[in-house]
Chain A
Amino acid sequence: MEQFVFWCIAIFIVLSAFFAMIMKNIFHCALLLAAALFGVAGIFVYLGAEFLALVQVLIYVGAITILIIFGIMLTHKMMDSKIIVMNKQVVMSAVITGVLGTLIILTIYSTAHWILPALKNSESGYLTHSITTASVTKNKKVVTDVYTLGPALINPKKGFAFAFELVSILLLSVLIGATVIARKDQEG
């Protein structure tokens, strides 16, 4: 049952992502992309990261898709159905992508023999020491909820406090930069 639902979500993601990349109407593409990202949130639940699934729904499905739809509405001639969506190198890029995907899948398939024995030991914590130990918890099923993820983000000793502050500065500069770039009067 678990396998079945997982593969249903996987097929749903792959199909909607694929059609989001090949459909003519870009508005439909954006909606299919939202569906694919929603499916990825479901995969996050399967991986035991419920908080990140919620963040995925909030930020990707909620914010980025709305942002993309606004971008489409501001830049695109919407009901123009005769436009060519693919560029001249579509055959070449399909070949390259096919080779890349085949290589990735063959690599995973050929290295799966060392994954399966290690997975039996991973219940007891396979890596006991990590280089950057962000709140290492042993012998306990860790769920990545806010209570473990929050201290890992802002703990200055063992966590990622510096990167967290850097990302906040980045977000501030993105806010200012996007406003400046998209502004109408360009005399400044």
Chain B
Amino acid sequence: MIPVQDFLYLAGLIFSIGVFGVLSRRNAISVLMGIELMLNAVNINLLAFAKFWGWTTLNGPVFVVFIITIAAGEAAVALAIFISIYRKFKDINVDEIKYLNH
């Protein structure tokens, strides 16, 4: 039986790595990857606490389902925006794009 804090340590590490990616990368797609890692850390936390409380409710798994769905939608919209920005600026570095309207 793995104690619940091991899952929390793992989720904290993954979340920190995601924060590092969001803060330090120049490419917008890498920033998106960091956000996906952070969402995954949150999912691990939700399921760990749902298991910790003995599965008395299904709130944790249901929230995980919603987070996965919203992450998929977010990735789709973000990549559409990146493609649209790339057509206009020929680059998707988040340092250099200051304005969203041409």
Contact = CB atoms under 8 A, between A and B. Distances in A.
Task: Report whether over half of chain A's contact residues are helix, strand or loop; otherwise say mixed.
Answer: helix
B37 A108 contact: no
Contact of A87 (B13, B25, B37): B25
A105 B15 CA distance: 11
Given A60-B68, A178-B80, A124 B16 contact: no
Residue among B8, B13, B33 with max Cβ neighbours from chain A (10 Å): B33
A63 B16 contact: no
Task: Report whether over half of chain B's contact residues are helix, strand or loop; otherwise say mixed.
Answer: helix
B47 A167 contact: no
B95 to A, nearest CB: 5
Interface in B1-54: 1-10, 12-21, 23-27, 29-30, 32-34, 36-37, 40, 43-44, 47-48, 50-54
A115 B83 contact: no
Given A87-B95, A123-B54, A177 B4 contact: no
A1 to B, nearest CB: 11
A47 interface: yes
Chain A interface size, as a band, is: 35 or more
B70 interface: yes
A93 B4 contact: no
Interface residues of B, number: 72
A160 B60 CA distance: 12
Contact of A141 (B55, B69, B92): B55
B13 A14 contact: yes
A128 B18 CA distance: 35
Interface in B63-77: 64-66, 68-73, 75-77
Contact of A56 (B3, B4, B57, B68): B68
A71 B29 CA distance: 8
Interface of A: 2-3, 6, 10, 13-14, 17-18, 20-21, 26, 29-30, 33, 36-37, 40, 43-44, 46-49, 52, 55-56, 59-60, 63-64, 67-68, 70-72, 74-76, 84-90, 92-94, 96-98, 100-101, 104-105, 108-109, 112, 115-116, 118-119, 121-128, 130, 132-138, 141-142, 144, 148-149, 152-153, 159-160, 163, 167, 170-171, 174-175, 177-179, 181-182, 184
Given A13-B14, A33-B36, A134-B59, 5 more contacts: A47-B50, A105-B9, A126-B56, A170-B70, A171-B73
